[in-house]
């Protein structure tokens, strides 16, 4: 027989009610806070992080002169990037911060049978894209690589343990691992003693010349390009020349479908 | 009752004597202790970022602190009490005054047998001019 209404609550009914009450007490505040307006910090744009947004625009229309390596040379001299340039070595080891590559290597997936012919043979400079959502930063177990408020994806070489997760994470191949002692690839008198080298077992990459930006200088590659094909500036500044370049020209970025929001733009 | 009492105690005495050799070797043979290093000080020691005693005791913490501030926070200048701010840089600020790694840093570090790994990456600018 059912419970008599007049006798009040039976044990089963009491337990049901108590369970519901406990769930409400614990769950309601949590649910309420989830519904609160707010923005996840990791996905906040640079403006919300209260910073600048450094970016580079590469003008590919004119194209680099054939054997020009001025930007690479300037960068690698500035940062004591070693060179193990023995082309015959089967285990050729290369450390690169900024380098030249073919159009179809830089922008895979853009191949068309009847595309503009000049693009087929075009080369462009590529470097770390200093992504808005950098996968390398997400995978770094020691926070040796991190994003600064101004958007630069920075490396703390002191903290790098050489696990190379970042190299697996980076879709652009912008990171190099020091398999050998980098000093062995440098002359006895290093090009720039004011800047350190790295040590064996550390990953390195472009830092957008953060040390030069602090002195109000342009990055070494931008300064070295005599053809003026590289432009660098703060995208948060509406009056910056890079903003004008992006406004006036059609630009593409490397692998934009990956959602990393690269900050190196190419005018094609 | 201990068997071979004589041999055991003689052996123990020799063992203790050998282990304690660092304590009696110099006084007994009169060799004296190693001469403390003579550190070459820069021409203007008063310009250092901290007083001499503090630097001597805690320069490693200062350098670690600078490293964190420069690399992680992007703060590059050290507010020097004399009003003349300096960049927080081992190669450029410290060795800008001091007589280089070999003449300054190594003198004490070798005496104390410590091997800091600063120089795996950083340079003594004077050795590369």
**Residue B119 is inside which H or E element, if any?**
none
Chain A positions touching B89 (Cβ under 8 A) are 194
Q: Does A212 touch chain B (CB under 8 A)?
A: no
**Higher model confidence: residue B129 or residue A134?**
A134
Report the pLDDT value the prediction gives residue A8, as an integer from 0 to 100: 79
Tell me the ipTM for this assembly: 0.75
Confidence of residue A259 (pLDDT cuts 50, 70, 90): very high
Phi (first) and psi of residue A120, to 5 degrees: -50, -40
Q: Render pLDDT for A177-236 as a digit per residue (tens, 0 to 9).
A: 999 999 999 998 899 998 999 999 999 999 999 999 989 999 999 999 999 999 999 999
Phi (first) and psi of residue A56, to 5 degrees: -125, 145
Q: Within chain B, how many helices (H) and strands (E) appear? A: 7, 2
Answer whether residue A173 shows pLDDT above 80: yes
- B 20-59: CB under 8 A from A: none
CB-based contact A193 B128, cutoff 8 Å:
yes
> What percent of chain A shows pLDDT beyond 70?
92
Q: List residues bridging with A264 in a β-sheet.
A: A56
Of A194, A199, A214, the CB nearest to B76: A214
User: How wide is the angle at C-alpha A197 spanned by C-alphas A196 and A199, nearest 5°?
Assistant: 130
Averaged pLDDT for residues B31-40 = 82
Averaged pLDDT for residues B11-18 = 97
CB-based contact B127 A193, cutoff 8 Å:
yes
Q: Does A72 touch chain B (CB under 8 A)?
A: no
Confidence of residue A45 (pLDDT cuts 50, 70, 90): low
CB-based contact B129 A189, cutoff 8 Å:
yes
A139 Cβ partners below 8 Å, 6+ apart?
A165, A166, A168, A169
Q: Does B119 touch chain A (CB under 8 A)?
A: no
CB-based contact B121 A198, cutoff 8 Å:
yes
Mean pLDDT of chain A: 89
Residues A222, A225, A226, A231, Cα dihedral to 10°: -40
Confidence of residue A38 (pLDDT cuts 50, 70, 90): low
Confidence of residue B40 (pLDDT cuts 50, 70, 90): confident
């Amino acid at each position: 027989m059912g419970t008599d209404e007049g006798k009040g609550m039976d044990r089963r009914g009491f337990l049901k009610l108590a369970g519901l009450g406990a769930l409400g007490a614990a769950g309601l505040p949590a649910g309420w806070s989830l519904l609160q307006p707010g923005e996840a910090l990791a996905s906040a744009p640079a403006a919300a992080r209260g910073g600048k947004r450094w970016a580079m625009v590469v003008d590919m229309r004119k194209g680099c002169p054939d054997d020009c390596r001025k930007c690479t040379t300037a960068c690698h001299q500035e940062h004591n990037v070693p060179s193990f340039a023995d082309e015959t070595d089967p285990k050729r080891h290369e450390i690169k911060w900024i380098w030249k590559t073919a159009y179809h290597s830089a922008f895979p997936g853009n191949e068309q049978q009847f595309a503009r012919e000049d693009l087929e043979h075009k080369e462009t400079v590529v470097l770390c894209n200093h992504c808005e959502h950098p996968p390398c930063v997400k995978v770094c177990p020691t926070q040796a690589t991190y994003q600064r408020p101004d958007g630069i994806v920075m490396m703390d070489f002191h903290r790098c343990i050489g696990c190379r997760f970042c190299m697996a994470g980076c879709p652009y191949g912008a990171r190099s691992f020091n398999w050998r002692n980098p000093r062995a690839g440098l002359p006895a008198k290093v090009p720039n003693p004011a800047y350190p080298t790295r040590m064996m077992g550390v990953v390195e990459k472009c830092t957008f010349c953060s040390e030069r930006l602090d002195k109000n200088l342009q990055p070494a590659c931008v300064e070295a390009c005599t053809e003026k094909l590289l432009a660098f500036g703060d995208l948060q500044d509406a009056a910056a020349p890079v903003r004008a370049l992006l406004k006036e020209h059609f630009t593409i970025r490397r692998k934009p479908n990956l959602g990393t929001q690269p900050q190196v733009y190419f005018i094609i | 009752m201990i068997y071979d009492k004589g041999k055991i105690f003689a052996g123990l005495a020799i063992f203790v004597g050998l282990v304690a050799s660092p304590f009696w070797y110099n006084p007994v043979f009169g060799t004296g202790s190693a001469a403390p290093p003579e550190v070459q000080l820069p021409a203007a020691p008063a310009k250092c970022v901290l007083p001499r005693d503090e630097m001597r005791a805690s320069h490693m913490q200062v350098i670690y602190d600078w490293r964190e501030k420069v690399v992680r926070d992007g703060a590059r200048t050290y507010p020097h009490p004399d009003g003349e701010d300096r960049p927080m840089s081992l190669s450029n600020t410290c060795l800008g005054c001091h007589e280089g790694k070999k003449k300054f840093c190594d003198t004490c570090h070798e005496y104390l047998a410590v091997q800091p790994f600063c120089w795996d990456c950083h340079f003594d600018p004077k050795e590369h001019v």
